[in-house]
Amino acid sequence: MFCAGNVYSLLKRAGTFLKSKGLSEPESDAEVLLSFVLQTKRSKLPLMRSQKLTDIQVSQYEEYILRRSKREPAAYITGLAGFMDFEFKVNKSVLIPRPETEILVETALKFAKKENKNSVLDLCTGSGCIAVSLAKLGKFKDIMASDISGSALEVAKENAQINRVLNINFVKSDVFGEISGRNFDIIVSNPPYVSHEEYDALEPELKYEPEIALTAEDIGLFFYKRIAGEAGRYLKDNGFILIELNAYKAGEIKQIFSTGDYENIEIIKDYAGLPRILKAENRC
Ligand SMILES: C[S@@+](CC[C@H](N)C(=O)[O-])C[C@H]1O[C@@H](n2cnc3c(N)ncnc32)[C@H](O)[C@@H]1O
C-alpha cells in the first residue's frame, strides 16, 4: 500500500487513505498510529517530518492503517488509552475509557475531599480506569473494584500495577453479588446502559468493544434499576452514589432513584452540557 517514505509523506498518504474510507478524523488517526510505530509522542512528529522509516516500520504502519480503515478503534490497535492523564492498557475485553467518564472521577474526588470520605466501591470497573484514577488522585484508605468479567478484571489489575497502585481490592461479582457484608462512603459506577435498539445503530467502532460492557436489557435501564434497588445496603449512613448516565434517559434514571432509598438527588452535566452523572445520597 505505502512505499518507503519519510514521516511527512507517510502521514499524508495514510490520512488521504483513511479519509477515502470515510473516517471522521483521518489525520489524527494517522498521527496516533505513526507515533505508536515510532514509539514517540504525537507532539514530536512535526519535528521528525523528514525522518525516514525502516521497511519494517512501514509495513507495521500499513497494517495498523488497514485495521483502522476497517474501523477498529486506534486504542485497540495500540493497546493503550489515556484517561485522567494516566495511561491504561486496553484490549477487547474492556471498554475504552471515555473522556466524559472523567467527570465521574472529578466529582467523586471533589466530594470525597470536601466530606472526608475514605472508602469507595467502583462497580463495573472494566479497565479499572475509575478505581485506579481515584487511587492515584484521592486519599482513599479502602478501594474495591468489581466486575462480572474475569478477563476485564485481569486488565484492571494490570492497570493498577502499571500505574503503581497497590491498594485496590479487585472482586469478581455480578453487580453486588459478592460484595456482601461491606459498606462504603461512595459507590461509583459506569454501568452498561445502551439499549439493544441503540446498539444496532452504533458506529462500527463500538462493535469492536465487548457487548457485555455496553448493552443492558429493559431499554438500557436494567443496571440503573438493579443498582438503585441494592446500593443503599452497601452505603454508609452519609454515603452517596455517583452513576454515569445515558444522557438521553436522564429523566427516567432520576425517577428510578427517586424511590425513597435516596435523597438530595442531583444531575451533573458534562462539558457538552448533557446530563452525565447522577448523585444520590443514602437516606438513613
Ligand atoms: C460501561 S463499562 C464501564 C467500564 C469502566 N468502568 C469505564 O468507565 O470505562 C461496564 C462494565 O460493566 C461490566 N458488567 C456487565 N455486566 C455486569 C454485571 N452483571 N455485574 C458487574 N459488572 C458487569 C462489564 O464487564 C464492563 O466492564
pLDDT per residue over 55-86, tens digit each?
A: 999 999 999 999 999 999 999 999 999 999 99
How far apart are the CA of 85 and the centre of ligand 1, in A? Answer: 22
For residues 97 and 223, membership in a common domain is answered with yes
Together in a domain, 208 and 170: yes
Model pLDDT for residues 194-246, shown as the tens digit of each residue? 999 999 999 999 999 999 999 999 999 999 999 999 999 999 999 999 999 99
Whether residue 144 is found in the same domain as residue 27: no
Please tell me if the CB atom of residue 216 comes closer than 6 angstroms to any atom of ligand 1.
no
Say whether 280 sits in a helix, a strand or coil: strand
Query: Which pLDDT band, with edges at 50, 70 and 90, does 2 fall under?
Result: confident
Packed helices 129-137 and 150-162: angle between N→C axes, nearest 10 degrees? 30
Domain limits for position 63: 7-70
Distance separating alpha carbons of residues 278 and 80, to the nearest angstrom: 28
CA of 101 to the centre of ligand 1 (A): 13
Mark whether 157 and 53 lie in a shared domain: no
Residue 147 near ligand 1, beta carbon < 6 Å: yes
Q: Could you tell me if residue 38 is inside a domain?
A: yes
Residue 124 grid cell: 463495573
Q: How many Å apart are CA 140 and CA 162, to the nearest integer? A: 19
111 and 204 both lie in a single domain: yes
Q: What is the β-pairing status of strands 235-244 and 184-189?
A: parallel
For residues 38 and 119, membership in a common domain is answered with no
Residue 26's domain is classified under what CATH number? 1.10.8
Give domain status of residue 32, yes or no. Answer: yes
- Which residues on adjacent β-strands are paired with residue 241? 187, 280
- Structural domains in the chain (count): 2
Nearest CA to ligand 1 atom 13: 124
> Per the domain annotation, does 33 fall within a domain?
yes
Report the phi/psi class of residue 27: left, alpha or beta, with left for phi > 0 and alpha for psi in -120 to 50: alpha
Domain co-membership, 186 together with 109:
yes
For residues 42 and 168, state if they share a domain: no
